[in-house]
Structure 1
Amino acid sequence: MTLTDRTLINTIVHEFHDSVASGHLSEDRTLERVKTCSWWPNLGNDVAEYCQKANTATGRKFGIMIKIQEPKSPWEIFPMDWVAALPPEGDRSYNASQVLVDRYSKTPMFLPCQ
């Protein structure tokens, strides 16, 4: 399909670059995907311009990097996460688990949760 409507062109490039399903593809990958279903004069230039503007608009400055302190003893520092929606099994009365990992010894601990 050959396109000339600028609004439709911008919508197509947006969908192939910015949509949740696309995940901010690179300029080259966005161009490849757009070419699978559409073509218009200056397609490559339009995709390049759109991607450059999108990358400039979403650019973020990062904070100062700080080295994570190393623990001097067990269970002084422990990252934690959750495992949820566990399938039912036997007599188990919980469907989730909090996971702690000791940074000193790398020992995991699993705490059952409801």
Structure 2
Amino acid sequence: MAKEYLDDHFPNWEKHLFPMKAKKVKCASGKMKSIGTIIKDIIIPHRKGNISLNPEFIVLEDAHILGFLLKTDYQRMYGIDIYNSKNRNITMGTKKGKKFSLDIYKMSTHDTLE
């Protein structure tokens, strides 16, 4: 998660920053500077029941990301599968037919992250 994103959306986020063991963070353009980790609840609203996640994010000093990245290990742990077809959909858990529409353009940051 980009430090800049946290600055814009979550004042006083530094109070919740945890130290991070030495870990290399790389991207296509090279190494990135990590400053710690933070746990942020993610709530994806849906009329049949909200989807709630509690992942730990690495905070990056030099990232220029407008949102956050949820690694595939969290997706597997929570049973998330995202279908990228005409409309973006998400499934949670192992129940068949539990497919939710995920319209990211209609969600505000306040609705999805707390």
TM-score using structure 1 length: 0.21
**Which structure has the bigger radius of gyration?**
1
- Judging by fraction of residues, say which structure has more helix: 1
- Judging by fraction of residues, say which structure has more strand: 2
